[in-house]
Amino acid sequence: MDLQEIYSQIILENSRNQDNKRELENPDIVEPGHNPSCGDEIELQVKLDGDIITDAAFTGAGCAISQAATSVMCDEIKGKTLEEAKEMCEIYIGMIKREDILEDDLEKIGDAVAFQNISNMPQRVKCALLSWKTLNDLIEERDK
Which residues form the interface with Zn ion (CB under 5 A)? 38, 40, 63, 66, 127
Residues 6+ apart with CB under 8 A from 90: 136
- Give 30 or 63: the residue with its C-beta nearer to Zn ion: 63
- Give 40 or 76: the residue with its C-beta nearer to Zn ion: 40
User: Which residue type does 11 have?
Assistant: I
C-alpha distances (whole Å) from 121 to each of 9, 75, 127 are 17, 24, 10
- Give 53 or 112: the residue with its C-beta nearer to Zn ion: 112
Least distance (Å) from Zn ion to the CB of residue 125? 10
Least distance (Å) from Zn ion to the CB of residue 72? 15
Least distance (Å) from Zn ion to the CB of residue 73? 15
